[in-house]
Amino acid sequence: MSRTATDTEKHWLSLAEETRFAHDSERRFARILDFYGVAWEYEPVEFALGWDEQGRPTSGFRPDFWLPAQRLFVELTTMNQPLVTKKNGKVRRLRELYPEIRVKVLYQRDTLALLAKYGLVGDGLGVTQSGDIARPA
């Protein structure tokens, strides 16, 4: 699904609200992109990372965002260490198999810093100096 924000579409009800995201941080990241008029596509392609004996894909990686003007894939990740480790392995494999593909991983601390900078943390959540999520007492 491709999205580009025009001047008349830059408002509080972002185009990001129309897309079904796997995680709320993806929706919030898309709102930042929309606000700045950055064209994006959500999970537009899956890269095969492994194949069986018949050549059928057995594993793959689908980056969260494609930014066509920057020719860059962006993958957002969480602080759940087993998931981060697995995702980092997939990104390494992607780079081995497809060296021409540019992909940037934004870790939770990076994403939270961006969201806090643009006032999109919301839901009573804050960001501590270490980048952890803090809830009010």
pLDDT digits (tens, 9 = 90+) for 31-87: 889 888 999 999 999 999 999 999 999 999 999 999 999 999 999 987 677 788 889
pLDDT grade, residue 119 (50/70/90)? Answer: confident
Average pLDDT over residues 80-99: 91
User: Given the structure tokens 């924000």, which residue do they identify?
Assistant: 5
CA dihedral 69, 110, 76, 93 (to 10 degrees): 90
Give the span between the Cα atoms of 45 and 129, in whole angstroms: 35
C-alpha triplet 44, 49, 55: angle, nearest 5°: 105
In this structure, the strands spanning 103-106 and 72-76 are parallel
- pTM given for the model: 0.73
Instruction: Indicate the number of domains in the chain.
Output: 1
Cβ neighbour number for residue 65 with a 10 Å cutoff: 22
- Residue range of the domain that includes 105: 2-134
- Residue 44: the pLDDT is 95
Residue 29 or 7, more confident: 29
